[in-house]
């Protein structure tokens, strides 16, 4: 099973049709949909702290389009917050990036892809779990 995780830049790109990377992120979602149509188990997720940083409020009318793409939330609940706090202390990365790392640890999937403007940071916060960090 594969999980494709969106970081702040990927969310920004997805929300804005004029964004330079909009098509790139759409191509990744097309890839998710394509593999699902072929029977593969693939999901797209966003850590909720990333949504906060990116200003993605699902209740706003402006979010209607991005809400339809079925990018599921991964909440910063008690256990995720504990893991994110440890990652934050270890890496000095921000709350959103640390939540990405905690999300990776919490996913049942052995194949995790992170779409990010900074793949190095994503590898760092996800360590020691191996991930595929894709530069967008």
Partner 1 sequence: MDKLAVLDEINRLLEVDDETTVNTSMRLPSALRDAAVLAVQHLGVASSTTVMTAGALRQALETAVMTAALEAHYRQHPETRPSLVEVALALAAQDGSPLAQRPDLLERAAAQVLARRPDADADDVLLWAEAQEAASV
The residues of the shown chain that bind partner 1, judged by CB under 8 A, are 2, 4, 17, 22-24, 26-38, 41, 64-65, 67-70, 113, 132, 134
What is the DSSP annotation of 39-52?
Answer: T--EEEEEEHHHHH
Choose between 64 and 89: whose C-beta lies nearer to partner 1: 64
Q: Which residues of 105-128 are buried (b: 16+ CB within 10 A; e: fewer)?
A: bbbebeebbbbbebbebbbbbbee
Choose between 94 and 106: whose C-beta lies nearer to partner 1: 106
For residue 56, the minimal CB distance to partner 1 (Å) is: 15
For residue 68, the minimal CB distance to partner 1 (Å) is: 4
For residue 88, the minimal CB distance to partner 1 (Å) is: 27
For residue 86, the minimal CB distance to partner 1 (Å) is: 27
Q: Which residue has the tokens 């929300």?
A: 15
Choose between 4 and 11: whose C-beta lies nearer to partner 1: 4
Choose between 28 and 99: whose C-beta lies nearer to partner 1: 28
Task: Please give the order of strands across the beta sheet that includes 2-6.
Answer: 71-74, 42-47, 2-6, 111-116, 132-135
Q: What's the token pair of residue 5?
A: 């995780």
Q: Which residue has the tokens 């990744």?
A: 28
């Amino acid at each position: 099973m594969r999980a494709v995780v969106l970081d702040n830049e990927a969310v920004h790109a997805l929300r804005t049709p004029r964004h330079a990377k909009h098509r790139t992120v759409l191509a990744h979602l097309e890839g998710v949909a394509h593999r699902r149509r072929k029977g593969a188990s693939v999901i797209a997720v966003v850590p909720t702290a990333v949504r906060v940083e990116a200003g993605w409020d699902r209740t706003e009318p402006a979010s209607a389009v991005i809400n339809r793409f079925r990018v599921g939330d991964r909440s910063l609940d008690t256990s995720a917050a504990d893991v994110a706090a440890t990652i934050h202390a270890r890496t000095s990365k921000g709350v959103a990036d640390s939540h990405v790392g905690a999300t990776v640890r919490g996913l049942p999937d052995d194949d995790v892809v992170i779409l990010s403007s900074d793949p190095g940071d994503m590898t760092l916060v996800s360590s020691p779990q191996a991930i595929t960090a894709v530069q967008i």
